[in-house]
A and B are shown apart, each in its own frame.
Chain A
Amino acid sequence: MAGKYQLLPCIYRKTDSQQPAKTLMLRYIIRRLIQAIPLLFIISIVLFFLMRNMGDPIAAMAGRSVTRSAERERLTKVLGLDKPVYLQYIYWLVGNDWTKTDVDGDGIAETQGTRKGILRGDFGTSLVNRGKPVTKVIAERLPNTLILMVAAEVVVILGALIVGVYSALRQYSALDNIMTAVSFIAYSMPIFFIALISMYIFGVFFKRWGLPYLPTVGMFDPNVGKTVGQVALHMILPILSMTLISLAAYSRYIRSTMLEVMNQDYIRTAKAKGLPRWRIVYIHALKNASLPLVTLVGLDIPLLLGGALVTERIFAWPGMGRLFLDHVNRLDVPVVMGILMLIAVAVVVFQIITDIVYAWLDPRIRYGT
């Protein structure tokens, strides 16, 4: 366990402080939150300037034809893209309702700004879906992503625990070797390949062969309607695709930590005391072997909000991943910034939560003063 302390020296360290644990924890959380403010500020600056230098939003709006010159001038002005990037960032951050802008191009600023900026909860409106608030754009997609990603994460964790524990307990058995081989094969396959192959096998070929088949794309069959059963049915292939790759990685991780734990002295002692095997494995060994998994899951959860870019695109799942891709391609800065900042905040928050859960699971860990 000493090794773990060395890995995370700035977060965890033993302390001899006499202060109550709750006070220490609260102080720690507050400190982390305060540290997050400049961090998020820097992230927002970097992302905003990167986004604004990725291309020309007006060109992206053109559709099939090149934008006419007069239209380019007009849209640039109306959408505020004629302003210097730093000013666009300030407007995005604190709004522009404190100033006037020159919309008609006569050199006189006559139009009062209406934006409040993200510091006052106004994330702006989408450039693509003109006039639609960014918060609404994101809110429409977030539940779909969470349904898919949480379900996939649960399947991955449960599957990885089953496969990982079994492999560890039956090390070098035929089944362990098979699962090791399958894991490496699955892990080495690109997800788009797995997605398309599964789509063809379970959707196209099964139907052709007269077998029960699975739907290929979307969330439901329009002939049936958007029912719970339909959504669940349409989730199977996306989850299968995501699970195969993640399960391979997670199960290998569980296997190695279980192997490490199963060789610890306290497990040997438990065996010597004659405890039932299930109790040794699932109560004593698995709990300790799962600790690193908590860190992995803690890091995964905020990224779940970002959705699965490839899976959502291929299976036409209306989640955050597709939203991000679609709007990055069309340089919709307000929406992309909204998504990125949501993920950035989630990463910070969930890292703090992970730290807390980690300490809760391992009572030996205390927060430093």
Chain B
Amino acid sequence: MKRKHILFTILIVATIILSACGTAQTATPVTTTAPVVEPTQGQVVVPTAVPPTEVVAPPEKTVTTITWIQEYDSLNPMYTNMWFSTTTQQIWNAWAWEFDDKAQPYPKLVTEIPSLDNGGISADGTVITMTLRSDVTWSDGTPMTSADFKFTWEMYTNENNAVASVYPYDYITSIDTPDETTVVIHFDNPFAPWLALLWHGIIPEHVLRPVFDADGTLDNAEWNLAPTVGLGPYVFDTWESGSFARFVKNENYWGTPAKIDEIFFRFVPDEAAQVASLLAGDADIGYWYEWIDAQKLEDAKFSIVVVPNGYDEGMFFMVNNTEAKFNDQPIGHPAMLDVKVRQALAMAIDRETLNQSLNLGFTTVPASFWDSIPLYSDLPNTTYSYDPDGAKKLLDEAGWVDSNGDGTRDKDGVELVLGYGTTNMEKRQKAQVVIQENLQAVGIGIELTSLESDLFFAGYADSGPTYTGDLDIQEWSDAPMFPDPDIYYWLCSEIPSADYPSGSNSFYLCDQELNDLIVLQSTQLDYKERHDTISKINKIFQERVYWLGLWQDPDPWAVSSKLQNIKFSPVNPFFNITEWVKTP
């Protein structure tokens, strides 16, 4: 009998060991009898055996842990398009101007934001003059000057640097730096998105110029992955691949010092594990979790913060009115050329229910493509409501009827069966099924496709499915050039072909009126004029149904109750990180 219990005993002991060697609950700080020691930040003070004296426990290092479901590719703003990387810019670097929690711009490295009123923008809109703050220094003590801005532009546009995106720096024709605090930017034509898109991270000339001169490129610069010199309230300390990145307080910070000592990013790629780590107290802030976990986190005293970010999930309709072909094959279904069919699609889909069932009511149907763009979210809302009978009527009027009794409408021998594709994200696949049922109910057949995102978004040259004509309805989450309202997909010049395989207009739509308005708004520096133009574009979008919003796609954050004063900007989330406070 005794032996039989050996393994049971082992199992029990193992369980006890598993638990016992674990972390004990954090003890409540108590006043101890120890010598008075002036604590040094970040150091543990060890009491020594001397006569007891009443002391207060030394302040512990405060660390805020943030879980990131994706790891950075690079920290150099030149070499990344990753949201998870660019959002760290407010921690260890800075933008020329940043955006607050209402997405309103405020000057950061400049004394004021250039405008037509203050003379920072020339009357013809082709010259922007910035005046830099004179008290800004890099974390190594070197003053930041206009030369850093010019160097940043030169590096972005130098063809020896395989940067992630040259845009919008390729719109700049030259930069003058008459003195250390003045930057004069020249454009050929007025460039409306400058405020939203320029100077998202400055690179230090005194660090990187020698590297570029030696190597002829910045592609292999150590600073890209370990930017030890920055402009932010924290400085880069460590980035351990696959594990974490640590930023510690910048003791030379030129602005108001941060209150928290260290920002620790932990890379947790699994969303369920991220939620578990938050619930276990292993992280203070989580980002990007399933809506279904929001209640669980709220119960654990996390604040759920939903921040609009310009992105909306939507259906892009292929309207090939240019008779474009792919490999000599016709592209798109002829029914999609009829606006009544597209309007019927909009009316046949129960989008409100989709928001309730898939996003648990955390989102609503976006009113327009600019639904969460600051200053442009007030565009007239003429979105279509769920009306299957109305949809059937429109299809009848368009001549698409079920003449052969197979349950699917047809016209001139062509069945109304549309290709509908998106990426293989679970939520999208669920939405596809619901939408398929909605459309079948009005007699529209749907063939579903869902692919890995890199396959779905493959280009024309790689026979990407959005380009081949197989997908009459293409679904993904997108935004204008947030926080700028600029768009470009629908430009006629962006229609891809064998001669121009990189064209982004995978809808093969050329609407000249729309095209001209898109071009016009991109040059309008006056807000009212531009707002008016965007309103006209939105009206065309609504009436001609080139895009149909399904649900808003905001950023979901979960914040521990230990943290106070946290606000998130839709543009640069950590804009007020110096004000964050963490309590034990």
Contacts and interface: CB of A to CB of B under 8 A. Distances in A.
B160 to A, nearest CB: 8
A222 interface: yes
B159 A217 contact: no
A92 to B, nearest CB: 17
Interface stretch (B14-22, B122-130, B183-191, B558-566): B14-22
Contacts of A313: 269-270, 273
Interface in B1-55: 3-4, 6-8, 10, 18-25
A68 B165 contact: yes
Interface string B221-248: 1001100000000000000111110100
B73 interface: yes
Contacts of A219: 243-244
B18 A202 contact: yes
A56 B272 contact: no
A70 B19 contact: no
Interface in A34-93: 54-76, 78-79
Nearest to A68: B167
Given A55-B458, A60-B454, A103-B159, A199 B273 contact: yes
Contact of B504 (A68, A76, A79, A223): A68
Contact of A71 (B167, B479, B496, B503): B167
Contacts of B268: 217-218, 316
Contact of A72 (B25, B455, B459): B459
Interface string B329-345: 00000000000000000
Given A55-B454, A217-B268, A65 B479 contact: yes
Contacts of B379: none
A3 interface: no
A71 to B, nearest CB: 5
A56 B23 contact: no
Contacts of A217: 67, 266, 268, 273-274, 276-277, 282-283
Nearest to B64: A222
A207 B241 contact: no
Contacts of B73: 61, 128-130, 330
B244 A218 contact: yes
Contacts of B403: none
A240 B478 CA distance: 42
A331 B457 CA distance: 13
A132 interface: yes
Nearest to B482: A65
Interface stretch (B74-82, B89-97, B348-356, B430-438): B74-82
A210 interface: yes
Contacts of A144: 242-243
Interface in B236-291: 240-244, 246, 262, 264, 266-270, 272-274, 276-277, 279-283
Contacts of A130: 73-74, 79, 162, 219, 224
A215 B282 contact: yes
Nearest to A315: B273
Contacts of B10: 162
Contacts of A202: 18-19, 22
A103 B160 CA distance: 9
Contacts of A255: none
Given A55-B452, A314-B273, A322-B269, A66 B243 contact: no
Contacts of B277: 203, 216-218, 316
A61 B488 CA distance: 19
Contacts of B283: 217
Contacts of A72: 459, 502
A78 B67 CA distance: 33
A291 to B, nearest CB: 25
Interface stretch (A7-15, A169-177, A264-272, A339-347): A169-177
A326 B242 contact: yes
B18 A66 contact: no
Nearest to B74: A130
Nearest to A212: B22
A184 interface: no
Interface in B192-222: 219-221
Contacts of A210: 25
Nearest to B505: A69
Interface string B547-582: 000000000000000000000000000000000000
B462 A56 contact: yes
Given A63-B83, A218-B244, A56 B4 contact: no
Nearest to B217: A131
23 contacts: A57-B454, A59-B457, A66-B504, A70-B167, A70-B170, A74-B166, A129-B241, A144-B243, A166-B7, A173-B4, A202-B18, A202-B19, A204-B276, A206-B22, A212-B20, A214-B23, A217-B266, A217-B276, A218-B266, A223-B60, A223-B63, A313-B270, A330-B73
Given A75-B164, A79-B162, A222-B264, 6 more contacts: A69-B504, A71-B164, A207-B281, A212-B24, A318-B243, A331-B454
